[in-house]
Copies of this chain bind each other. A is one copy, B any other.
Amino acid sequence: MDINVLKSLLVRNTTKIVYLIMDGLGGLPDKETGLTELETANTPNLDSLAEMSICGMMDPIAPGITPGSGPAHLSLFGYDPLEFAIGRGILSALGIDFPIKKGDVAARINFATIDKEGKIIDRRAGRISTETNRRLCEKLRKNVKLNENVKWFIETVSEHRAVLVFRGQNLSGKIEDTDPQVVGKKPLKAIPLEKEAEYTANIINDFISKAKAVLKDEDKANMILVRGFATFEKIESMKERYGLNCLAIAEYPMYRGLARLVGMDILKIPGSFEELLQIFSEHYNEYDFFFLHVKKTDSYGEDGNFKAKVEVIEKVDKVIVPEIMKKSPDVFVVTGDHSTPYLLKSHSWHPVPLILYSKVCRKDSVKKFGESECTKGGLGRMLLKDFMPVVLANALRIQKYGA
């Protein structure tokens, strides 16, 4: 749906929309039982919700395409993930809650080891500790003085990983990686991919050579490799697109970063499901849209841990779902951002099951929340990015198109 047409149809309402996202929810069947993680889980609350709802299967990006977390969440929020590309450097900055601003250029850093000839021996500097990483970042902050008058930030991620951000006028993220991706070669120069990026490339090369000098006496981490340069382009907020005041409640920084990217508020960081519900409950009257994010379904999928993934789903069913239902939201959506089947130990392309509850949905015959059942759901199979208008319709927030 053309976003400008959609915007022209928006009407004000006070209806509440809740998105409960279990990261990597979709799975694959256990070989013995034939049931997926979700189908194996005992989920009486989700099942009875599904029975009152309309269900379906969502393709986060397009059939066959496995999404990263960034594009998958943009799609969840109704943004075309192929139109709104988020560079890797930006995603890394979002992932550590870095307060990134429009025009910033961000990149990923690896601390690395080079030999006397300058050739790379270890691209990860022997996986130095996060503590060492913090010390190195602080050392660089104190000792690197750039020629140009631009602000720069270096922030520890974990182990050998850090994020580098440049802030100033006329910066460009169109720069090639300096990481050659193999050992035995020297790090590359930062090469501009367009004329407008020459200025930025010079700054980066200045930074790298000075960082190298500062790090030269380090035992392992005597060099940095930089990759995934990207500019941060501000994205139209969900308030601007849909007229929704949004609150994100997410334990993991990456998802808070993605939520912030589309203009959601973040008030507190929950350390448990109970804290998540407390934040939700305390601020329920202040917002139109709530994005509740559960990470562990994905983590256990990545670990290949079927049982643990099942248990997280069961806990969500038992602890979170009833508390949300007590608030009687006008629209309640339960889904994942993508599939992370235990069998693949990674994100996958498989569509994600979804429940859409509202008082005015046309409920279908689905009586249990699971991949096989949702395949028969009334929503059919949809591109996730096309789903937001359905949510807005069910929240009675769009008027008819044409007379």
Contact = CB atoms under 8 A, between A and B. Distances in A.
A403 B65 contact: no
Interface in A82-96: 82, 85-86, 88, 91-92
Given A401-B66, A401-B81, A402-B85, A372 B365 contact: yes
Interface stretch (A55-63, A111-119, A134-142, A211-219): A55-63
A381 B58 CA distance: 13
Given A64-B1, A390-B349, A71 B376 contact: no
A372 to B, nearest CB: 6
Given A402-B71, A402-B81, A402-B85, A65 B1 contact: yes
A219 B64 CA distance: 60
A392 interface: yes
Interface residues of A, number: 67
Interface stretch (A98-106, A320-328, A356-364): A356-364
Contacts of A6: 65
A388 B65 CA distance: 11
B63 A390 contact: yes
A382 B377 CA distance: 14
Nearest to A74: B402
A389 interface: yes
Contacts of A92: 403
A85 B92 CA distance: 43
A391 interface: yes
Given A62-B1, A82-B5, A344 B372 contact: no
A362 B228 CA distance: 33
Given A88-B403, A371-B362, A389 B28 contact: no
A195 B66 CA distance: 47
Contact of A393 (B1, B64, B376): B64
B28 A401 contact: no
A83 to B, nearest CB: 10
A390 B67 contact: no
A107 to B, nearest CB: 13
Contacts of A2: 82
A44 interface: no
A70 interface: yes
A347 interface: yes
Please list the 6 inter-chain residue pairs (A to B) with the smallest Cβ-Cβ separation, ordered nearest first.
A64-B389, A68-B402, A380-B381, A64-B390, A71-B402, A64-B393
